Amino acid sequence: MSDRILILDFGSQVTQLIARRVRESGVYCEILPFNVDPDRIRDFGAKGIILSGGPASITSEESPRVSDAVFETGLPILGICYGEQAICQQLGGAVEISEHHEFGRAMVEVTDVCGLTEGVWAKGERHQVWMSHGDRIERLPDGFRVVGTSDGAPNAMIADDARRIYAVQFHPEVVHTPDGAKLLANFTGRVAGCTGDWSMAAFRDRAIAKIRDQVGSGKVVCGLSGGVDSSVAAVLLHEAIGEQLTCVFVDHGLLRAGEAEEVLRLFGDHYNIPLIHRDAGDLFLGKLAGVSDPETKRKIIGATFIDVFDEDASRIGAEFLAQGTLYPDVIESVSYTGGPSVTIKSHHNVGGLPERMNLALVEPLRELFKDEVRVLGRELGLPDSLVGRHPFPGPGLAIRVLGEVTAERCEVLRKADTIYLDEIRKAGLSDAIWQAFAVLLPVKTVGVMGDARSYESVCALRAVTSSDGMTAESYAFDHAFLAQVATRIVNEVRGINRVVYDITSKPPGTIEWE
């Protein structure tokens, strides 16, 4: 087994980014709540522990603390932001509410060398970092010394080399701390002694062995949606158990152009995976008739999908249900204030599994982030046209058709979306953009087309860049590109006479547009 790092979460909105940076350095890691049972910490087999940031104030008596067992392990520890304050407070230092808050970019000066900075940040250097704190450390615990300062945080970096405990007031995991990943890699490698040998090829072999061990000779049913996650999960399962797997593809009529045909061609013909295709577009559209609220749409689609899926899956006699659950789904199902909760991801993140299905879950991707799933897909030989496809959040076109969903409005949006993505491909921008899609707005505008006035719908375009799917910034298209896309959509799609571009960026959290 590869070396591992354990991250204890105090509820920071960027804790997942810590895990991403650690894994990028070739070290496997997992995130657990700060109040996890000490036995689980010991059983995890970590070579080092990272304490995340968090929204609470350590000065409050009710603020979260880690178990003393964390410090008794003797493992290297790195505290980040709130994690630094927790270390100080729990080891005999003092933290107080400060009049001077620090949010955003700041400069940290390295005032002394330590194990955390050795070889990457030299004494006397100044580095840009990202701060987000209101409290400040007033007294260090015994054994600690200051190794970095900023204008708003005299104890911006502290170290106890004897116990191998280090802490920083800033967030090294975010892109706004340009050299922060080097610090994290230094902690996992130089301080914790991790070899950095975790790879997707090794994950693939281990996942196949785990699937075979869990399933045995049982039958597995997997729901295909046409997306990356379920597709990679299906191919991995098929490699592990072959004909014991049957896929059910519920075509709800809300897919992008050509997706249904691609699923049938790839999985039914190329991989020859046993596949049940259920064309249920009319059923779903009938259930959605007259519904405008996006959350109600999600619930309707989720419930209908489960009913249709269960009807077909029950004929297979399967004992296991495979899902493309990803690691962010696992993390987000655990509340840092309330501990683990039982949240099961169903199709398109809506609803849940009814007890009547009576199936054990197989979730072969639950340890992976989205971009890691793509790497695994390529490792398995899936075509890049599928693996590199932009994610399409929400249950298909239903959430991108704002207002009532009808077959006609879906078709209008499908055509506009196809043109948009086609122009992105032609411009060679697909790899530079993490996610792009069109949205049909529930408003109409008056326009002049040729010698006639028109009264048609407005189409919005969205494109964002992201390295991990947790933060996003709008892609800066040039005007000529947007003009070309708008001209094609207005000319080729009957029902749209105006196109707008959404330039909203998203901070850490779920990337949605609805």
Q: With 50 as the cut, is the pLDDT of residue 351 above it?
A: no
Span 200-386 CATH architecture: 3-Layer(aba) Sandwich (3.40)
Which DSSP string do the residues of 106-132 spell out, in sequence order? EEEEE-S--TTTTTTS-TT-EEEEEEE
Whether residue 485 contacts residue 459, with contact meaning beta carbons closer than 8 Å, is answered with: no
* 171, 252, 347, 348: the active-site residue: 171
> Who wins on pLDDT, 336 or 177?
177
What pLDDT shows up at residue 514?
38
How would residue 171 be classed by pLDDT, with cut points 50, 70 and 90? very high
Which DSSP string do the residues of 143-195 spell out, in sequence order? T-EEEEE-SS-TTSEEEETTTTEEEESS-TTSTTSTTHHHHHHHIIIIIT---
* 173, 363, 423, 456: the active-site residue: 173
CA-to-CA dists, residue 192 to 48, 185, 198, 312, 338, angstroms = 5, 10, 15, 50, 30
Q: Classify each residue of 144-161 as buried b or exposed e, where b means 16 or more C-beta atoms within 10 Å of its C-beta.
A: bebbbbbebbebbbbbbb
> How large is the average pLDDT for residues 396-415?
93
Is 171 considered catalytic here? yes
**Which residues in the chain are classed under CATH 3.40.50.880?**
4-191
pLDDT, one tens digit per residue, over 414-433 is 999 999 999 999 999 998 99
Specify the 3-state DSSP secondary structure of 246: strand
Whether residue 320 contacts residue 273, with contact meaning beta carbons closer than 8 Å, is answered with: no
CATH 3.40.640.10 is the classification of domain 400-502? no
What pLDDT shows up at residue 133?
67
| Residues contacting 205, CB < 8 A, separation 6+ | none
> Who wins on pLDDT, 446 or 452?
446
For domain 4-191, give the CATH superfamily. Class I glutamine amidotransferase (GATase) domain (3.40.50.880)
Share of the chain above pLDDT 90, in %: 62
Q: With 80 as the cut, is the pLDDT of residue 105 above it?
A: yes
Is 84 considered catalytic here? no
Q: With 90 as the cut, is the pLDDT of residue 103 above it?
A: no
Is 194 considered catalytic here? no
What pLDDT shows up at residue 509?
40
- Residues 255, 260, 261, 266, CA torsion sign: positive
Average confidence score pLDDT of the chain: 87
What pLDDT shows up at residue 413?
96
DSSP letter at 243 equals G
pLDDT, one tens digit per residue, over 122-148 is 999 999 999 876 688 889 999 999 999
* 29, 81, 194, 247: the active-site residue: 81
Specify the 3-state DSSP secondary structure of 260: helix
Which DSSP string do the residues of 195-226 spell out, in sequence order? -----HHHHHHHHHHHHHHHHTT--EEEEE-S
